[in-house]
């Protein structure tokens, strides 16, 4: 199982996630932060530092699988 993170709602463009990502997997777009799941190492720094709680943790069973939200 592989863990990745996704921006799912309410990004406030603070860029905290982008600054915390050790592998530069996060870019800012005109709609908010976007996490490149191919680069994401699942460390959770973005999730832990998102004050807007806009990032969700997702467990993937197989590479490339859509995955499900971990509650």
CATH number reported for the structural domain that contains residue 52 in this entry = 3.30.70.20
CA distance between the termini of the chain: 16
Checking if the pLDDT of 70 tops 80, the result is: no
Query: Is 70 a member of any domain?
Result: no
Query: Is 37 a member of any domain?
Result: yes
- C-alpha 34, offset from chain centre: 7
pLDDT of residue 66: 63
pLDDT of residue 65: 55
Domain with 37 in it = 2-62
**Measuring CA to CA, how many Å separate 39 from each of 6, 11, 36, 52, 53?**
12, 20, 5, 23, 21
Query: Is 39 a member of any domain?
Result: yes
Task: Tell me the pLDDT tens digit for each residue of 28-57.
Answer: 999 999 999 999 999 999 999 999 999 999
Whether the Cβ atoms of residue 58 and residue 5 lie closer than 8 Å to each other:
yes
């Amino acid at each position: 199982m592989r863990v990745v993170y996704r921006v799912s709602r309410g990004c406030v463009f603070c860029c905290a996630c982008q600054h915390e990502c050790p592998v530069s997997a996060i870019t800012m777009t005109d709609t908010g932060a976007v996490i490149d799941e191919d680069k994401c190492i699942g460390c959770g720094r973005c999730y832990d530092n998102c004050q807007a709680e806009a990032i969700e943790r997702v467990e993937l069973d197989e590479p490339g699988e859509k995955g499900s939200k971990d509650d």
